Amino acid sequence: MTTTTNNIKAQEVVNDILKVSPNISFDSDTEQFTASWVHYGYPVRAIGNFIVIEGLRYLMLDDDVSLYVDEECNEDGEFDDVETEMENRRDDFMKLLGDCYNYHQ
């Protein structure tokens, strides 16, 4: 596969991911959230911090949120270049996360 083909595939994957809400889980011990698109067949995750205010969890999207592809699920290289495309579309990911869960600025 050429670089151009990989880039087009990565753009298509990211477009698909941005159309659906992720599963979001919370680890109260570390105060981190994990947003996952694995249940849609994409080994893609976002990890960041959250806070609790009056019993409600809020994603801290202004903090450093990591966007990545699980390498263990990408052994065949099917998702090469997806991480780069995710970073290129970081604002879109932050909007999606903010829209699907409480968001705190």
Instruction: Report domain extents, the chain.
Output: 3-100
At 10-44, the pLDDT tens digits run 999 999 999 999 999 999 999 999 999 998 989 99
At 76-87, the pLDDT tens digits run 778 889 999 999
Residue pointed to by tokens 């990591």: 66
Token representation of residue 71: 């390498």
**Which helix (H) or strand (E) is 33 found in, with range?**
strand 32-36
CA 51 to chain CA centroid, Å, is 18
The size of the chain, in residues, is: 105
The one-letter amino acid at 87 = E
pLDDT recorded at residue 74: 78
